[in-house]
């Protein structure tokens, strides 16, 4: 329901531009004219108007900052059973050896089945600059010499009509896509989590089995992860993804 | 005049003409993230422009959100002050906490076409009066200290291109 609303509203939001061109004010004495081309990004965007040029001490000095996806802990305040996600990337073009330096993006839904993009700015509203939380349960890591990336997250919930899953996008070190895939969960562990722990238990078990899932049904053998642990101690998911790099 | 609480919105457009380091970083990093994320919706590189992706690929409008992660760190570096917009004495003064990132145009084969906007939404300001073309406002959180008890520190500024009054509330 909320997802549909988001999709509908986001279309309207694309048209929500806030441009208010004004004629040049005669009263702004001492001001200097700033750039003239529309969309220029000088001290102030201008289209035939004058604004006061800023006269301040230079700074704060910006520094190059990685995407906020780049972090190992992607929980960002979301509630759920602890899940450590260990993904090994191996290269079929190099005797299935570990692929180091690959970028791995993962994303998955909350315990109640929502993705961050549907709760961040529903209807195209404004997000809060509280740094990373608007992109919760999404992360990016670079594989080490063993081809391994590790994320700290929560056990995902599920939404209809899909089996529980984690999305993964693997890129080479230059950002070129190598593979887009999904990771499936063992059904017995899902059943335990979804029936014994709130808020998962509010919704109960998934409505779609791995074997009936539109994504996994024909490829489960290479997309099913291994999961160990317990509700109280948390779970560890281990999975190997083979790419052609 | 009747006192009103207003929020301003400033739409800052950043494109290939970016001059300042902060703008260049936003341009470069948002383009890099666009190239990475666009591959989700365009695995065979069938489409070149952002506009084509939006028209032809379901859910490609999620790219606004997906690419926004590349600029969150830069927004943090602004220390809560909207860039560019200055008061009558030439100082940045507008506080913000909320933003909306949008991709205006882009193209996987042409960096020059990459153009994004950051929409900054201010915290509420109290609008006391209008003097000529300038608005006299006060901020709820301000660095200014009143000289005497009972005084309200104020800011005077002009509405300027790409700055608008986003919302208004009558104060009693």
Query: Which residue from A minimizes the CA distance to B86?
Result: A54
Which structure tokens are listed for A167?
């999305």
B74 touches chain A (CB under 8 A): yes
Specify the pLDDT at position A62. 84
Nearest to A135 among B18, B69, B100 (CB): B69
For B98, name the nearest residue in chain A, comparing CA atoms only: A128
Tokens of B123: 């915290």
- Is the CATH number of domain A82-243 3.20.20.70? no
B60 to chain A, any CB pair closer than 8 A? The answer is no
Domain boundaries, chain A: 82-243
Choose between B51 and A126: higher pLDDT: B51
Q: Are B7 and B123 in contact (CB under 8 A)?
A: yes
Asked if residue B76 lies in contact with residue B68, where contact means CB atoms within 8 angstroms, the answer is no
Nearest-angstrom CA–CA distance, A57 and A64: 21
Taking the C-alpha atoms of residue A80 and residue A110, their distance in angstroms, rounded to an integer, is 8
Please tell me if residue B30 touches chain A, with a CB cutoff of 8 Å. no
What is the distance between the alpha carbons of residues B106 and B49, in angstroms, rounded to a whole number? 6
Please state the rounded mean pLDDT for residues B33-54.
Answer: 97
Position B169 scores a pLDDT of 95
A24 or B132, which is more confident: B132
Phi/psi of residue A228, nearest 5 degrees: -125, 160
Task: Check if the beta carbon of residue B97 is closer than 8 Å to that of residue A129.
Answer: yes
A34: confidence class by pLDDT, cuts 50, 70, 90: very low
Q: Is the pLDDT of residue B144 over 80?
A: no
Pairing of strands A177-184, A103-107: unpaired
For the segment A55-84, what is each residue's pLDDT rounded down to a tens digit? 776 666 788 888 889 999 999 999 999 999
How does residue A132 score in pLDDT terms, banded at 50, 70 and 90? low
As a whole number, mean pLDDT of residues A187-209 equals 96
By Cβ distance, the residue of A62, A120, A124 closest to B22 is A62
Is B167 touching A (CB cutoff 8 A)? no
Backbone dihedral angles phi then psi of residue A105, each to the nearest 5 degrees: -100, 135
Our count of domains for chain B comes to 1
Q: Which whole number is the average pLDDT over A9-27?
A: 36
Find the closest chain B residue to A9 by CA distance: B61
Mean pLDDT along residues A237-241: 98
Q: Do A18 and B119 touch (CB under 8 A)?
A: yes
What pLDDT does B96 receive? 93
Which pLDDT score is estimated for B87? 94
More confident residue, B114 or A129: B114
pLDDT tens digits for range A79-108: 999 999 999 999 999 999 999 999 999 999
Is the pLDDT assigned to residue B19 strictly greater than 70? yes
Q: Is the peptide bond before A60 cis (omega within 30 degrees of 0)?
A: yes
Q: Which of B19, B35, B133 sits opposite A175 (nearest CB)?
A: B35
Q: How confident is the model at residue A44 (pLDDT cuts 50, 70, 90)?
A: very low
Give the chain B residue whose CA is nearest to the CA of A48. Answer: B161
The pLDDT of residue B147 = 80
First to last CA, chain B: 12
B103 interaction partners in chain A (CB closer than 8 Å):
none
pTM to 2 decimals? Answer: 0.84
- Tell me which residues of chain B, numbers 87 to 146, contact chain A at a CB-CB cutoff of 8 Å: 87-92, 96-102, 115, 119, 121, 132-134
Q: Is the pLDDT of residue A151 over 90?
A: yes
| Residue numbers of the domain that contains B82 | 4-170
């Amino acid at each position: 329901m909320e997802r549909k609303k988001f999709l509908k509203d986001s279309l309207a939001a694309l048209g929500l531009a806030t441009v208010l061109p004004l004629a040049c004010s005669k009263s702004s004495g001492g001001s200097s004219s700033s750039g003239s081309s529309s969309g220029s990004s000088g001290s102030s965007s201008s289209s035939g108007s004058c604004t006061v040029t800023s006269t301040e001490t230079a700074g704060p000095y910006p520094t190059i900052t990685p995407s906020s996806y780049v972090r190992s802990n992607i929980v960002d305040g979301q509630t759920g059973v602890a899940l450590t996600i260990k993904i090994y990337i191996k290269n079929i073009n190099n005797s299935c050896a570990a692929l180091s330096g690959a970028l791995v993006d993962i994303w998955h839904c909350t315990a109640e089945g929502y993705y961050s993009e549907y709760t961040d700015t529903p209807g195209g509203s404004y997000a809060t600059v509280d740094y990373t939380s608007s992109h919760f349960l999404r992360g990016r890591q670079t594989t080490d010499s063993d081809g391994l990336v590790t994320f700290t997250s929560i056990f995902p919930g599920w939404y209809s009509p899909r089996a529980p899953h984690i999305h993964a996008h693997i890129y080479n070190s230059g950002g070129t896509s190598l593979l887009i895939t999904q990771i499936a969960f063992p059904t017995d562990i899902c059943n335990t989590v979804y029936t014994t722990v709130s808020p998962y238990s509010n919704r109960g078990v998934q409505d779609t089995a791995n074997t009936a899932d539109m994504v996994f049904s024909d490829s489960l053998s290479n997309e099913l992860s291994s999961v160990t642990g317990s509700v109280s101690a948390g779970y560890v998911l281990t999975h190997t993804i083979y790419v052609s790099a | 005049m009747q006192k009103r609480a207003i929020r301003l919105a400033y739409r800052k457009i950043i494109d290939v003409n970016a001059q300042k380091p902060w703008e260049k970083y936003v341009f470069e990093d948002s383009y890099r993230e666009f190239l990475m994320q666009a591959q989700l919706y365009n695995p065979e590189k069938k489409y070149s422009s952002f506009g084509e992706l939006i028209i032809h690929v379901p859910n490609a409008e999620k790219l606004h959100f997906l690419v926004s992660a590349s600029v969150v760190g830069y927004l943090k570096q602004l220390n809560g002050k909207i860039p560019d917009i200055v008061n009558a004495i030439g100082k940045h003064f507008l506080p913000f906490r909320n933003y909306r990132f949008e991709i205006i145009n882009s193209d996987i084969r042409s960096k020059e076409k990459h153009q994004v906007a950051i929409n900054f939404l201010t915290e509420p300001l109290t609008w006391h009066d209008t003097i000529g073309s300038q608005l006299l406002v006060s901020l709820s959180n301000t660095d200014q200290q009143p000289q005497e008890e009972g005084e309200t520190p104020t800011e005077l500024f002009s509405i300027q291109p790409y700055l608008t009054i986003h919302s208004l509330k009558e104060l009693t």
